Amino acid sequence: MQINLRKAMFVLPNLFTVSSIFLGFYALVLCAGDATPQQLYQAALAIFFAMFFDAFDGRVARMTKTQSDFGVQLDSLADVVSFGAAPALLVYKWALAPLGFVGFFVSFAFAACGALRLARFNVLAQRGDKGSSLFFVGLPIPLAAGTIVALVIAHYREFGAATDATTRVPIALVVVLLSFLMVSTIRYRTFKDLHLSPRSLGAFAFLTVGGVAIGIATRASFVLVVYMAVYIMMGIAEALLARARPRARKPLPAAIRAELDADEALEPDDEEEEDEDKREQDEYI
């Protein structure tokens, strides 16, 4: 009986993952054919709820101590469907189809970059990269999909109709940016190291009050758009500040420094310095 219960516990986190696949497939079905604005809105909601199941499957696995390589691979496959293919088709039917081949290629690029990002994540996880617990390398695909979903939901709640010609190009640029961020080496915080403290409580209160203020001033559906935009810009800003910040080199011991000064052949040339700079940069990204 205890063995059967243990096997059932291994199934539990996978049920969350399969539920995410179900919602992603349901979104694809809603987007198929001549989808109406309401069907596209429903597809966006399906992907939104798939994000919840995706967020909890890993936590359930850790709580029940049922983590497995099978679960990791299944989660990645689920993300390709729910947060790669489904949002790509959604944004194509919602705004990019009138752009012809350009709109088709931009939508495809989102799905392809999402798959590449997941493949890189799996490789880093297999290497046992400890930094991955504190930072995501590249924008996570659920958050990229969440940005598209937030735009669709906010647009439908505000206008209740399809997009017009003035918004299609900006939306295409947003999708291109999301695709680039997913395959980039820009680090995004996971906030797994966040602990209960006056500073964290203050930040949470500020975000909550800011969200309520935005919802009152505009619509509640715009709050998610703002939150997604803030998170995306925070990663870009931190990356720019890190590149602009001068890297301090550790001073060499006086004896070694004197020996280098005495023999010019021992001085590192420019190419070696560039290689060292590149190694330091690679360690950061």
Amino acid at site 197: S
Higher pLDDT, 252 or 47: 47
Higher pLDDT, 113 or 256: 113
**Confidence band of 223 (pLDDT split at 50, 70, 90):** confident
Residue 208 has pLDDT above 90, yes or no: no
Question: Which of 10-19, 116-125, 177-186, 210-219 shows the lowest mean pLDDT across its residues?
Answer: 210-219
- Whole-number pLDDT of residue 18: 92
Under a CB-based contact definition with an 8 Å cutoff, are residues 161 and 110 in contact?
A: no
As a whole number, mean pLDDT of residues 87-96 equals: 95
- Whole-number pLDDT of residue 210: 77
The 10 Å Cβ neighbour count of residue 285 is 14
**Confidence band of 253 (pLDDT split at 50, 70, 90):** low
3-class DSSP string for the chain: CHHHHHHHHHHHHHHHHHHHHHHHHHHHHHHCCCCCHHHHHHHHHHHHHHHHHHHHHHHHHHHCCCCCHHHHHHHHHHHHHHHHHHHHHHHHHHHHHHHCHHHHHHHHHHHHHHHHHHHHHHHHHHCCCHHHHCEEECCCHHHHHHHHHHHHHHHHHHHCCCCCHHHHHHHHHHHHHHHHHHHCCCEEECCCCCCCCHHHHHHHHHHHHHHHHHHHHCCCHHHHHHHHHHHHHHHHHHHHHHHHCCCCCCCCCHHHHHHHHHCHHHCCCHHHHHHHHHHHHHHHC
As a whole number, mean pLDDT of residues 235-262 equals: 69
- Whole-number pLDDT of residue 282: 44
Q: What is the pTM of this model?
A: 0.79
Angle (nearest 5°) at CA 59 between 55 and 63: 165
For residues 90 and 88, give the distance between their C-alpha atoms in angstroms, rounded to a whole number: 5
- Whole-number pLDDT of residue 272: 44
As a whole number, mean pLDDT of residues 24-33 equals: 94
What does pLDDT average to over the chain?
Answer: 80
- Whole-number pLDDT of residue 262: 60
